[in-house]
Amino acid sequence: MGKNSLPETDVPGGPHVPVLLEEVLSALSPVAGCRIVDGTFGAGGYSRALLEAGATVVGIDRDPSVAPHVEAIKADFPDRFSFVPGTFSELDVLVAGHGPVDAVVLDIGVSSMQLDQAERGFSFMRDGPLDMRMSRDGTSAADLVNDLDAEDLANLLYAYGEERKSRRIAQFIVAARQTAPIETTLELARIIERAIGRKPGDAHPATRTFQALRIAVNGEFDQLVEGLFAAERLLPEGGRLAVVSFHSLEDRIVKRFFDPDKGGPAASRHLPQVEAAPRRWQRAGKAIKSGPAELARNPRARSAVLRSGIRTGDAARPVDYSGLGVPQIRGAA
C-alpha cells in the first residue's frame, strides 16, 4: 500500500468511521446557532457531531445510496438538519436559500460503504462490476478501460495514479480486452498483476490504477478545485473551511489553494514584488494528521490530512487552476 492512497482493508462492511473528527470539530468550532455545510455527507459522521454541538447542518452528497443515513439523522434532528443531493463543486448554489453559512467541511474521497460494497466496483479486493461512479451515472471505469486507446490509458494512469508502469499496464489491458471486454474489478486486478507482478509486503499492484480510474470517473480534481472556490465565494469574513484529503495529489491542491505563496492562484507574477497579494484565508494551511490512537482504531485514517482556514474579508477569487498543481493528463485537451 502506497503511503499516499486510501488503504484498502479486507474488513468488510461496518459503518464509515469518521476520520480526524476531533480535529475537524476544532477547526470548525461549531456553536449553537451556527450553520455548517457538510459537503461530503457520507454516513453523516461529521454532520451528527456538528449537530450534537448545536449547529444547524446542510448535508450534500452525490451518492444516492447515502439516503438511509440521511433519514436517520433527519429523524434525530428534524429541525436543524437538511440534505441536498448534488456535487460539492456547486455547493454555494446548492445551499442558496438555506441562510448564511458559517463553515464548510469537505472529507473527500470514497466512504467505507462505497469501498466495501463489491457491487460499486471501487475495490480491487472484492469482485464486482468495474463501475466506481459515486453518482451512479455517467462514464464508468469499465467504459474507460475498454474504450481508451493504450496511450490515453497509460497517460491517465500516470497522471492520476502516479503509476510508473502505466505503459505496460495499458498494453496488458488492451491485449486482454481483445478477447472480451474487461467487466469486473478482479479481472482488472489480475491483468495488472500479470503486467507488473506482485511483491510480498508491497502495496497491491492495482492500487494506483484503481485510484487513477476512480479520480477520472468522478472528475475528482475538478470537483475539488471547484468546491474550494465555491466555499471561498460562500463564506463571509470569519467563516471556516476544513478539508480532509487522502492522497498527496489532492493535498497539494488544498495546500496551494489556502496558501497561494506556495504557488497558488493569487501569486501573480504581474504584481510588483513589494505588494503582497490579498489573502483570502488566514490561519491556513497547516497539515494535521491522525495520531497513534486513531491509527490503531481506524487503518483508513492513515493517509488522511486535514487543512483548514478562516476566511478574510478580501473578495473571493475567480476559479483559477493555475498554480494549484492539478495533475494534467498528457495529450488531453
Ligand X SMILES: C[S@@+](CC[C@H](N)C(=O)[O-])C[C@H]1O[C@@H](n2cnc3c(N)ncnc32)[C@H](O)[C@@H]1O
Query: What are the residues binding ligand X (CB under 6 A)?
Result: 16, 18, 40, 42-46, 60-63, 66, 87-89, 107-109, 111, 134, 223
Q: Which residues contact 196 (CB under 8 A, 6 or more apart)?
A: 165, 168, 169, 205
CA distance 100 to 35: 7
CB nearer to ligand X: give 176 or 304.
304
CB nearer to ligand X: give 219 or 323.
219
- The minimum distance between CB 17 and ligand X, in angstroms, equals 8
- The minimum distance between CB 243 and ligand X, in angstroms, equals 11
- The minimum distance between CB 196 and ligand X, in angstroms, equals 28
- Is residue 38 within a helix (H) or strand (E), and if so which, with residue range? strand 35-38
- The minimum distance between CB 63 and ligand X, in angstroms, equals 4
CB nearer to ligand X: give 86 or 323.
86
CB nearer to ligand X: give 63 or 163.
63
- The minimum distance between CB 62 and ligand X, in angstroms, equals 4
CB nearer to ligand X: give 107 or 259.
107
CA distance 174 to 149: 7
CB nearer to ligand X: give 187 or 232.
232
Q: Is 329 exposed, middle or buried (0-12, 13-18, 19+ CB in 10 A)?
A: middle
Residue 126: C-alpha distances to residues 10, 206, 278, 328 (Å): 9, 12, 48, 30
- The minimum distance between CB 60 and ligand X, in angstroms, equals 6
Taking Cα atoms as reference points, which of 305, 310, 306, 289 lies closest to residue 241? 310
Hey, what's the cell of 301? 485514517
Torsion of CA 95, 98, 102, 106, to 10 degrees: -30
CB nearer to ligand X: give 125 or 244.
244
- The minimum distance between CB 158 and ligand X, in angstroms, equals 23
Please answer whether residues 186 and 192 qualify as being in contact, where contact means their C-beta atoms are separated by less than 8 angstroms.
no
Please answer whether residues 144 and 217 qualify as being in contact, where contact means their C-beta atoms are separated by less than 8 angstroms.
yes
CA distance 70 to 84: 10
